[in-house]
Amino acid sequence: MQDARVGCWALFKVFSHMAILGFGGVLPFAYRHLVERTQWLTAAEFGQLLSIAQLLPGPTICNLSVMVGQRYAGAAGGFSALAGLLLGPFFIVIALGAAYQGLAGHPLFVSAMRGMSAAASGLILATALKLAVGMLRSTAAKPAAQGEASELAVDVARTLRWRRSTQIALLVAAFIGLGVVKVGLITVVATLVPIGFLLFAFVWRKP
Amino acid sequence: MSDDVKLGGLAWHLAVLSLTAIGGGVVLVAPDVHHYVSVQNHWLTDEQFASMYALAQAAPGPNLLFVTLIGWMIKGWLGAVVVTLAAIVPSSCLVLALGTVINRHGGGEGRWAGALRDALAPLAAGMLAGAAWTFLSVAGAGWRGIVLALAAAAAAYTTKLNPLWLIALGALAGAIGLV
């Protein structure tokens, strides 16, 4: 599992490679490179690190790169992996930005960009939808198992209903706060994360 | 106010925001960054702002790089470097600090992490939808833009098509005057 000979340069190279390939999202390539090709992580370790990377602030894939780099070569390894992930794409986006500025006066280009922006918003929406559906599945009412004490089953079902209502309320509140009323990310996170955490940790715990 | 001070303000803003963007990736900073860059300071127009995200989405690598483009539009190479570092260094340092603990003891499975995950999933979904709404409302594409965005969302949700194709189709729809 843990190969001490993975150095900063190797980390930089592997993460550069997956970043450059990662049109439309780096994560699938991260799995292929880290688990299948280099075998730096097992599939289970990858899943575990990914779920931690999602819990922490910052871009998920960057957090993952820092954790993997750190595991093999300390803080320097963390930054090497991160630099690999960002350096190539950094120059590519700037090239795109330069092209954008060069073409900015062209009416056809302006309308193409408008369509592109709308499609890009749609992609964010799709991610939101995937998260929401996955979340609702996790609190869907389960059919009562054979022989289960019915009182317990009723209890579990009630908790699940409450958990689901809470999740929906949090989702709507987060959307309105950030997107419609625009109170700002810091206010939304500082209010809703503690509320949600307390409710799920103490009131409606996972049955 | 000198340009350096402006850039410093944006960098500071981003550094704080990036530490708050939990659960949904860096796109969550978009509504605040839009307010700062386009509404408050008028460095970029609404359309330019929306375009920066679309360009970053069309490029390989993390979507975080849309802030790189914003920095570049405002103050060239210096802006790009400063803004990128501001958006990525604080959260990475936090990960490094916690990583020592995580690598030693494991983590992310206990009751507290579970409760946090339960809370973050709906919040991330809601905040992402809010960020999508921000981009959509500033992209200047009107109701037809909304229809296009919903179509793209449906396609991305139901198929395994590479998002790049949807971006390209969006550009095509714009170019032929559908949006």
**Model pLDDT for residues A7-47, shown as the tens digit of each residue:** 999 999 999 999 998 887 788 889 889 998 999 999 888 98
Q: Are residues A99 and A13 in the same domain?
A: yes
What integer is the mean pLDDT of A1-8?
A: 68
Domain count, chain A: 2
Say yes or no: B97 contacts chain A, CB-CB below 8 A: no
Whether A125 maps to a domain, the answer reads no
Shortest CB distance from A59 goes to which of B64, B90, B149?
B64
Whether A54 maps to a domain, the answer reads yes
Query: How buried is B113 (Cβ within 10 angstroms: 0-12 exposed, 13-18 middle, 19+ buried)?
Result: middle
Say yes or no: B101 contacts chain A, CB-CB below 8 A: no
Query: How close does chain A come to B73, measured CA to CA in Å?
Result: 8
Residues of A in contact with B21 (CB under 8 A): 57-58, 185
Residue A1: pLDDT band with limits 50, 70, 90? very low
pLDDT at A146: 57
Whether A1 maps to a domain, the answer reads no
Q: Are residues A143 and A80 in the same domain?
A: no
What is the rounded distance in angstroms from the CA atom of residue B33 to the CA atom of residue A158?
A: 41
Name the E strands within chain B: none
Q: Are residues A15 and A89 in the same domain?
A: yes
A205: nearest CA in chain B?
B115
pLDDT at B1: 46
Q: Within a 13 Å sphere around the CA of B120, how many CA atoms are in the beta-carbon half?
A: 20
Place of tokens 């919903």: B150
The DSSP secondary-structure symbol of A207 reads -
Whether A70 maps to a domain, the answer reads yes
A88: nearest CA in chain B?
B61
Contacts A–B by Cβ distance under 8 A = 401
**Strand partners of residue A23:** B60
Q: Are residues A98 and A174 in the same domain?
A: no
Residues of B in contact with A63 (CB under 8 A): 91-92, 95
What is the rounded distance in angstroms from the CA atom of residue B123 to the CA atom of residue B129?
A: 10
The last residue of a domain, from among A45, A79, A103:
A103
Whether A147 maps to a domain, the answer reads yes
Say yes or no: A152 contacts chain B, CB-CB below 8 A: no
pLDDT at A169: 96
Q: Are residues A42 and A95 in the same domain?
A: yes
B73: nearest CA in chain A?
A97
Whether A122 maps to a domain, the answer reads no
B131: nearest CA in chain A?
A179
**Strand partners of residue B60:** A23
Say yes or no: B89 contacts chain A, CB-CB below 8 A: no
- Give me the domain span that covers residue A183: 139-203
CA B170 → CA A121, A155, A184, B138, B166, distances in Å?
A: 10, 48, 29, 16, 6
Q: Are residues A83 and A153 in the same domain?
A: no
pLDDT at B48: 92
The last residue of a domain, from among A103, A127, A151:
A103
Residue B137 parent element (H or E): helix B111-138
Task: Check: pTM over 0.95? Answer yes or no.
Answer: no
Q: Are residues A91 and A173 in the same domain?
A: no
Whether A161 maps to a domain, the answer reads yes
pLDDT at B57: 87
Which tokens is A79 given? 């930054």
Shortest CB distance from B171 goes to which of A58, A96, A112?
A112
- Of B20, B91, B100, B117, nearest to A61 by C-alpha is B91
What is the rounded distance in angstroms from the CA atom of residue A129 to the CA atom of residue A135?
A: 10
Say yes or no: A122 contacts chain B, CB-CB below 8 A: yes
pLDDT at A91: 96
Whether A2 maps to a domain, the answer reads no
Residue A189: pLDDT band with limits 50, 70, 90? very high
pLDDT at B70: 95
CA A189 → CA A115, B61, B120, distances in Å?
A: 31, 26, 9
Residues of B in contact with A121 (CB under 8 A): 50, 132-133, 135-136, 139, 145, 149, 152
CA–centroid distance for B2 within its chain? 27
* pLDDT beneath 50, residues of chain B: 1
pLDDT at A54: 84
* Mean pLDDT for all residues in chain A: 88
pLDDT in tens, A97-141: 999 999 988 999 999 999 999 999 999 999 899 889 988 887 776
A134: nearest CA in chain B?
B121
Contact, A65 vs A86, CB < 8 A?
Answer: no
Q: Which of B16, B64, B89, B100 to mutate to test the interface with A (most CBs of A within 10 A)?
A: B64
The DSSP secondary-structure symbol of A104 reads T
Q: Are residues A99 and A145 in the same domain?
A: no
